[in-house]
Structure 1
């Protein structure tokens, strides 16, 4: 089990909450573009439906995510911990979104001082992110299996 994962079910729940902010905000638009044959790439802001901005505000708010986590912890105790991956998604988005295109409204519904981060489409950010994940996973794997005998 990777990074403290208890079992596949807990991992799946954490994964779903981790991708949920982007899937809810952009999922429909993504599939619409695939099936209508629209071109990919960064769309012009004027062509994005207004409901997407509302969904993005809700799903990328630490306030909303933390309230959901708190409610989950009250109702389900420790079983709600995977919901924290929603907040982790937002924390990763804050420094990796520029103010030019979908800055992260992490304090919504309150006024948010946007962070002009370095976007994911910058190659050194994209590849260093993957490299960091690989290093962390390799360290975890080594720590877990280094002292175990092969046979």
Structure 2
């Protein structure tokens, strides 16, 4: 299963893009390219941000990039040894960025400041929604109610090969359908 963890990050961005494509086909107005880029970016950020303390802390140590790579690809309980501070920061950043409670507070705070909903946050929300149901209790369950609890919903383990085939098969199928519909609508009078 080593290496599948990277594919989860790709899938989050791809699902956000596919979701926008489906919304466009349904007639919803599309946001600006900048907003779309922010939405896709925020769909992948929760799986990247907790790597920052690992990268910054461990690159200064003997393990260097090897430790960062080993951490990114580690199965639960098999993470490489790191300093207590780096481990603590990485853990809490993961929890913060996978929490619907935190995302809700940020969403409402931005709504209060901007006097409108900030659309790019849909990327973050899509990440949380996908992870809640595609992370098992054995494989990094999403702490959706953090900071109240670290517990997560026991969903389907996304890193199972059969689920990966289904996930990427669906992504490819929807992408091909969108491309086909786009081409056929250009070709019709």
Q: 2:135 aligns with which of 86, 97, 102?
A: 97
Structure 1 unmatched runs, 5+: none
Instruction: State the TM-score, normalizing by the size of structure 1.
Output: 0.79
Structure 2 unmatched runs, 5+: 1-16, 25-29
Counterpart in the other structure of 1:23: 48
Counterpart in the other structure of 2:66: 37
Structure 1 CA distance for aligned equivalents of residues 81 and 136 of structure 2 = 19
- 1:102-137 CA-to-partner distances (Å, cap 9, x unmatched) read 211101122365222232321111221111112222
SS of residue matched to 2:120? helix
State the superposition RMSD in angstroms. 2.9
Q: Does the alignment pair 1:10 with 2:63? A: no
Instruction: State the TM-score, normalizing by the size of structure 2.
Output: 0.65
Counterpart in the other structure of 2:187: 149
- 1:63-101 CA-to-partner distances (Å, cap 9, x unmatched) read 1112222233341625x1111110110111112212123
Counterpart in the other structure of 2:144: 106
Counterpart in the other structure of 1:77: 116
Structure 1 CA distance for aligned equivalents of residues 53 and 148 of structure 2 = 26
Equivalent pairs, count: 150
Q: Taking structure 1 as reference, are residues 106 and 47 closer, same or farther at Cα in structure 2, changes over 3 Å only?
A: same
